[in-house]
Amino acid sequence: MCGRTCLTLNPKEIQSCCKYKITPESKPKSPEYRNEFNCGRKYEPSYNIAPTDLSPVLVSAAHFDEQKDSAERTLVPMMWSMIPRWHKGDYKKHGLTTNNCRLESLAMSKLFGPSFNAGQRCIILCEGFYEWQTTKALKASDRPAFFVHMPQNEKVRMDDKTTWNLKDDGINLLKMAGLFDMWEDENGDKLYSYTVITFESNEKFSPIHHRLPAILDTEADITAWLDYKRVGANRALNMLKPSEAIEWYPVSSLVNNSRNKSSECNKQIEPGQSQSTTPKSKLMQSWLIVKKRKFDDDPK
C-alpha cells in the first residue's frame, strides 16, 4: 500500500525533473504545468503528503487539449484519494477509501474501472514514499517506518537537499502508476483526484510490506502508461510489475502524524537510534525551559 509521500520541489523544479522527448530525435522539453482547477486549492510542497492533500501528477496532454498528441505530457495538481464522479455534496464525505486501488480488481471495479477503461492513467510524482513494516507482530504505533526512493547519483542524499543539483540533472523522482478522475461541485468547479495502483510485493520488498505501489522504472514504461491512445488498457495493465530498483532507509516515527510536515520526516535514522524518538518542537522546548526556570526559582 501507499499512505504517505514526500515532494518538496516547487512546480518549476518538478518540470525540470520531468523533461522528456516526444521522439528519440527531438529535443528534451518540460511538461506544461496547469493549475487552474481544484476549487481554489493549490499544491504545497511537503515532506509528509497524506491522502486529501494535493500533489502534481503527470498525464497525457490530450486529456486537457484534444489538439495535443497523446504522447505529450502535462503536470496537473490533483487531490490524493479519488472522488467518485457521481458523489453529491461535500467531496470529503463520500465515505470510501480510495487513496489506493488494487491492480488485481481495478478493471472490473465499479469505482475505478470507468477511469481505467477511459484511459485516465496518470503518474504520481514524489521524492519517495513512506512505508511501515507490517510483516512483524507489532502494534501499529510500534511499526518501524521507512522512506522508499529511487537510486540517485552517488553524491545525492535524499534527506539532504544541499546535495541535489536541480539546475543540471535534477533528481530521479519516484513515479507511481495511478488513475485519475474529475468531479464537479454544485457550481461546476472541477476537482481532479487520483488513486495509486498497488499489487503484491516482490521478494525484495516483502520483508517490509506485502503490498507495493506500481512503480515505473524506465522512460519506455512512463511513455506507454501515459499514451492511452497508442497503448490500450490491457497492454498497459500487463506491463506493470514490481520494481527491483527501489531503495529505502529507516526514518523517525515523526512521520506517523500527517500534521508533521518538517524536514525531519525523511531524515535517515542512524544505526542503533530508536525510531520512536522524535525531535521536540521549538514550542515544547521553550515550554520546558520556562517550566524548569519556575521550578529552580521556587523558594519551596
Q: What is the mean pLDDT of residues 264-275?
A: 80
Which is the catalytic residue, given 6, 18, 131, 265? Answer: 131
* Confidence at 274, pLDDT banded by 50, 70, 90: low
Q: Is the pLDDT of residue 254 over 70?
A: yes
Query: Rounded to two decimals, what is the model's pTM?
Result: 0.88
Which is the catalytic residue, given 2, 6, 18, 265? Answer: 2
Domains of the chain and CATH, by start: 4-274 (3.90.1680.10)
Q: Is the pLDDT of residue 4 over 60?
A: yes
Q: What is the mean pLDDT of residues 126-139?
A: 86
pLDDT in tens, 50-86: 999 999 999 999 999 999 999 999 999 999 999 998 9
By percentage, how much of the chain surpasses pLDDT 90?
Answer: 74
Is 2 in the active site?
yes
Amino acid 293: pLDDT:
42
Q: Is the pLDDT of residue 285 over 80?
A: no
Amino acid 245: pLDDT:
96
Q: Is the pLDDT of residue 275 over 70?
A: no
* Confidence at 234, pLDDT banded by 50, 70, 90: very high
- State the DSSP string of 175-212: EEEEEEEEEE-TT--EEEEEEEEEEE--TTTTTT-SEE
Amino acid 278: pLDDT:
42
